[in-house]
């Protein structure tokens, strides 16, 4: 039997597999009963919706202007071509060929690396603990926007302090180090209530307003995922397309504001000297990786519901280009408004945008909207866009966990998807409670940095090594040929074997070498919280070596035979082990 046929999915030849003697060894998820996308567009919108998230709106514009403006597009494009897009294509091809989730797939690739699947699921849970809270913040802003005068416009509210200074467009107002804008006090004091927390030492009680918002978010998530891709594939027609309508509306409005040209010029003006800074290349690599999202198991899960001969190569190119162009477009949307704010404040653009985190979306941009004509309308559509951007990514992240676990335990969970999804959503909601406290923003920052930071990069690095070097680039390319009818070119093979793993190793090493102090607002995280963060990161990654040891211990035979079995796809390794044992037993 050839290597290509030995790893082909079961549903390629359903009639033959129905009577094959080893049919019981194949996962139930790989039969014709597996769900499939109702339409090709459902899949494309789901992938685009996952890749295009809140980070495209705040992180890319900020990193771009901080790292050389238009010049940053050079390292960004290079990193996309030789790192992000090849890994993106690899995951889509793996998911579509093997038609199973992030855990079970390793039986058919390299069993000793099965711990990668468990690590991905744990990382997915950590992301759900904080990411949905950010969507809940946006929902609270959305609700607060339904008023004639936006509540973050003035300093005449119960939550404001004597430091509140509404200086927007006023030349006779003095600003000092203690001054706070109405938008900042609305976010920090009214929405977060962070003034009532004493850092992570004492996070305070729950914010019931945010609790209700998060509960509503998880209700939407549950009823979008409970029936599988047939329901989520319909929801993304709204959640994945609405942000583009809103982005174009906000772009047109922003371009007509006074001073918008200052923001655009600052955004795209090339600073060629920045290209000699290693940090710029690190930022470009990290941005394209987290933007496209390989390693989270989402692409494996979404592609596993495709027909076997679907053109995943074309899908990878289309969705990658759409994602990168969306990031670039978002930069214009953000910086036209920042230019307007700089004009009204009579300051430089770099003095307006000082934070690449959520503050840009919850303080800076809302402040600009509050001082526009038609502020209520633009606030409503802006925060509606944020909600839909976040929901798409949540759908993808949780579907990766659902698919991985259900494919691993089909006999237990195969007929109980609704109950399993309900249990998973309940776990995610419970895990998010600490982010709903007065100091919840500190917890969000900690989980964002350590829960899905370096650990996910290390996971996808091992994934690339396992596929290219252990499963074998020749076998993988044969799999692609059996689906698409053509053998991947030298560019793809070189990227998978050498360039993409080097790209990931570059990010990992650089992130360990450059570790600035972790801060949020004026709070500097104490050392013990950093230690907790490392434990959070290790709690997911540790499953990879743990499973390796477990697999080697419980596999029968000599150490050489065990290694041979553990690094080969199970159906191939089983045949090799049988032959080896027969030769050993022969007289």
Is 52 labelled a binding residue? yes
Is 393 labelled a binding residue? yes
Is 283 labelled a binding residue? no
CA 565 from chain center: how many Å? 34
Check if the beta carbon of residue 138 is closer than 8 Å to that of residue 383: yes
CA distance 237 to 66: 34
Check if the beta carbon of residue 440 is closer than 8 Å to that of residue 207: yes
Is 323 labelled a binding residue? yes
Strand partners, 180: 164
Closest C-alpha to 235, from 339, 408, 387:
387
Query: Between vectors from CA 375 to CA 387 and to CA 237, what angle results, nearest 5°?
Result: 30
CA distance 319 to 87: 13
Is 389 labelled a binding residue? yes
Tokens 């089983």 correspond to 574
Sorted by sequence, the CB contacts under 8 Å of residue 85 that are 6+ apart come out as 292, 316, 317, 320
Residue 409, SS3 per DSSP: coil
CA distance 416 to 422: 10
Residue 202, SS3 per DSSP: strand
CB burial of 222-259 (b: ≥16 within 10 Å; e: otherwise) equals bebbbebbeebbebbeebbebbeebbebbbebbbebeb
Sorted by sequence, the CB contacts under 8 Å of residue 355 that are 6+ apart come out as 62, 363, 364
CA distance 191 to 9: 50
Question: Which element (helix H / strand E) includes 524?
Answer: strand 523-524
Q: How far apart are the first and last CA of the chain?
A: 27
Strand partners, 523: 520
Check if the beta carbon of residue 244 is closer than 8 Å to that of residue 385: no
Q: Strand 519-520 to strand 523-524: parallel, antiparallel, or no bridges (unpaired)?
A: antiparallel
Copy the structure tokens of residue 440: 């919840």
Is 56 labelled a binding residue? yes
CA distance 156 to 421: 45
Is 49 labelled a binding residue? yes
Indicate the annotated binding residues.
49, 51-52, 56, 291, 323, 389, 392-393
Indicate the annotated binding residues for Na(+).
49, 51-52, 56, 291, 323, 389, 392-393
């Amino acid at each position: 039997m050839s290597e290509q046929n030995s790893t082909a999915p079961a549903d390629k030849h359903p009639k033959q597999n129905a009577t094959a003697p080893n049919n019981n060894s194949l996962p139930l998820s790989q039969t014709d009963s597996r769900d499939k996308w109702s339409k090709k567009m459902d899949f494309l919108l789901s992938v685009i919706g996952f890749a295009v998230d809140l980070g495209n709106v705040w992180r890319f514009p900020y990193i771009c202007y901080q790292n050389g403006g238009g010049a940053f597009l050079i390292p960004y494009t290079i990193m996309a071509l030789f790192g992000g897009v090849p890994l993106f294509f690899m995951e889509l091809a793996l998911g579509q060929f093997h038609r199973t989730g992030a855990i079970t797939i390793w039986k058919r690739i390299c069993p000793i690396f099965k711990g990668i699947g468990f690590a991905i699921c744990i990382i997915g849970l950590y992301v759900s603990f904080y990411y949905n809270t950010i969507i809940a913040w946006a929902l609270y802003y959305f609700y607060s926007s339904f008023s004639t005068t936006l509540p973050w416009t003035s300093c005449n509210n119960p939550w404001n302090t004597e430091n509140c200074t509404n200086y927007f467009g006023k030349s006779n107002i003095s600003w000092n180090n203690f001054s706070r804008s109405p938008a900042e006090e609305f976010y920090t004091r009214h929405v977060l209530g962070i003034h009532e927390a004493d850092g992570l030492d004492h996070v305070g009680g729950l914010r019931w307003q945010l609790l209700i918002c998060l509960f509503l978010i998880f209700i939407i998530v549950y009823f979008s995922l409970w029936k599988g891709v047939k329901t989520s594939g319909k929801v993304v027609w709204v959640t994945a397309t609405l942000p583009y309508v809103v982005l174009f509306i906000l772009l047109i409005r922003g371009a007509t504001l006074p001073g918008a040209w200052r923001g655009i010029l600052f955004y795209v003006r090339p600073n060629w000297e920045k290209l000699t800074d290693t940090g710029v290349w690190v930022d470009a690599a990290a941005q394209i990786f987290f933007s496209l999202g390989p390693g989270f198991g989402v692409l494996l899960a979404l592609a596993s519901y495709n027909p076997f001969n679907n053109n995943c190569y074309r899908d990878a190119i289309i969705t990658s280009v759409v994602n990168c162009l969306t990031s670039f477009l978002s930069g214009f949307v953000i910086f036209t408004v920042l230019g307007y704010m700089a004009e009204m404040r009579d300051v430089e653009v770099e003095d307006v945008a000082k934070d690449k985190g959520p503050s840009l979306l919850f303080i800076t941009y809302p402040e600009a909207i509050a001082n526009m004509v038609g502020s209520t309308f633009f606030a409503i559509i802006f925060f509606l866009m944020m909600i839909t951007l976040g929901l798409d990514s949540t759908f993808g992240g949780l579907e990766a966990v659902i698919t991985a676990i259900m494919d691993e335990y089909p006999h237990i969970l195969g007929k109980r998807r609704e109950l399993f999804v309900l249990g998973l959503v309940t776990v995610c909601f419970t895990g998010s409670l600490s982010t709903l406290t007065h100091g919840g923003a500190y917890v969000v920052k900690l989980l964002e940095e350590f829960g899905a930071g370096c650990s996910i990069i290390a996971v996808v690095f091992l994934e690339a090594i396992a596929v290219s070097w252990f499963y074998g680039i020749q076998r993988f390319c044969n799999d692609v040929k059996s689906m698409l009818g053509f053998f991947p070119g030298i560019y793809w093979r070189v990227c998978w074997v050498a360039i993409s793993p080097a790209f990931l190793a570059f990010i990992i090493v650089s992130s360990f070498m450059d570790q600035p102090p972790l801060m949020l607002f004026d709070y500097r995280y104490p050392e013990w919280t950093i230690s907790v963060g490392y434990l959070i990161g290790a709690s997911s990654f540790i499953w990879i070596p743990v499973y390796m040891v477990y697999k080697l211990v419980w596999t029968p035979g000599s150490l050489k035979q065990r290694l041979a079995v553990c690094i080969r796809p199970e159906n191939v390794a089983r045949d090799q082990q049988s032959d080896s044992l027969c030769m050993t037993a022969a007289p």
